[in-house]
Amino acid sequence: MSDHLIDTVLIIKRALYRERKQKIFLLFFILITAFLLLYAAALQTETALYGLCTIASLIAFVSALLFLRDLLRFWNPDSSALLQMIIHAPKNIVWIYRINVRFSPFGIDFRNRISFCFRLMNSDMLQIQIPEKDSEILMEKLERYFKNASFGYSREKEQLYGIHPELLQKD
């Protein structure tokens, strides 16, 4: 593996580990909410409120199970589709661009993330969120490693990709 590829893989793995930690936190939050709703249902004497709390807790438990299934499916970052594509089939990635995602509740900048979009030859898209500090480094490494891919977003590239993804490949 080249140095550019190793650096790229490390940055993406860090982002995947961060995403996994966030999903685990959210899973625990959903489970705690489900248990609190079930406890609230057990304390109710009114049947209507009991039924509402019970149904809400069951929905939360089912959501937690579905979330756990998705979390376990992608537990190991090495098995991620994006890393597999970068390492084993880089020619299938035809277009890479980034989108700045701002989380600003009530107009207060809370968090900035850069979302990297990898458009593939088969018209699929793989996406990963990278912290702002790593985004410049990652883009630089990707540009050095993917000589055949187009970089940056534009309407023209989007139209070419819609017609046929192969039109964005460089020779």
Flag whether 83 is in a domain. no
pLDDT for residue 13: 87
Q: Which residue type sits at 148?
A: N
Residues 11/138, Cβ–Cβ less than 8 Å: yes
Flag whether 23 is in a domain. yes
What does the buried/exposed string (b/e) look like for 82-112 if buried means 16 or more CB atoms within 10 Å of the residue's CB?
Answer: bbebbeeeeebbbbbbbeeeeeeeeeeeeee
pLDDT for residue 3: 67
Residue 52 has pLDDT above 70, yes or no: yes
> What would the mean pLDDT of 6-34 be, rounded to a whole number?
87
Measure the CA–CA gap between 29 and 11, rounded to whole angstroms. 27
Same domain (yes/no): 150, 125: yes
> What would the mean pLDDT of 21-48 be, rounded to a whole number?
87
> What would the mean pLDDT of 39-53 be, rounded to a whole number?
83
pLDDT for residue 102: 73
- Final residue in a domain of this structure, among 12, 47, 75: 75
If one compares 72 and 5, the residue with the highest pLDDT of the two is 72
Q: What are phi and psi of 105, to 5 degrees?
A: -70, 130
pTM attached to this predicted model: 0.73
Flag whether 108 is in a domain. yes
Q: Is 148 left (phi over 0), alpha (psi -120 to 50) or beta?
A: alpha
CA distances from 54 to 12, 66, 70, 123 (A): 41, 18, 25, 43
Asked which of 31-35, 107-111, 135-139 is least confident by mean pLDDT, the reply is 107-111
Residue 160 has pLDDT above 60, yes or no: yes
Same domain (yes/no): 108, 67: no
**What is the residue whose two structure tokens read 């490949």?**
169
Residue 4 has pLDDT above 80, yes or no: no
Greatest Cα-to-Cα distance within the chain, rounded to the nearest angstrom: 72
Flag whether 81 is in a domain. no
Flag whether 160 is in a domain. yes
Residue 72 has pLDDT above 70, yes or no: yes
Structure tokens at 35: 């248990």
Same domain (yes/no): 126, 98: yes
Same domain (yes/no): 8, 67: yes
> What would the mean pLDDT of 74-91 be, rounded to a whole number?
81
The tens digit of pLDDT for each residue in 92-108 reads 888 899 888 777 667 67
- Final residue in a domain of this structure, among 16, 45, 75: 75
Same domain (yes/no): 94, 62: no
Measure the CA–CA gap between 83 and 77, rounded to whole angstroms. 8
The pLDDT confidence band at residue 69, using thresholds 50, 70 and 90, is confident
Structure tokens at 158: 């989007």
The pLDDT confidence band at residue 28, using thresholds 50, 70 and 90, is very high
Residue span of the structural domain in which 161 resides: 89-168
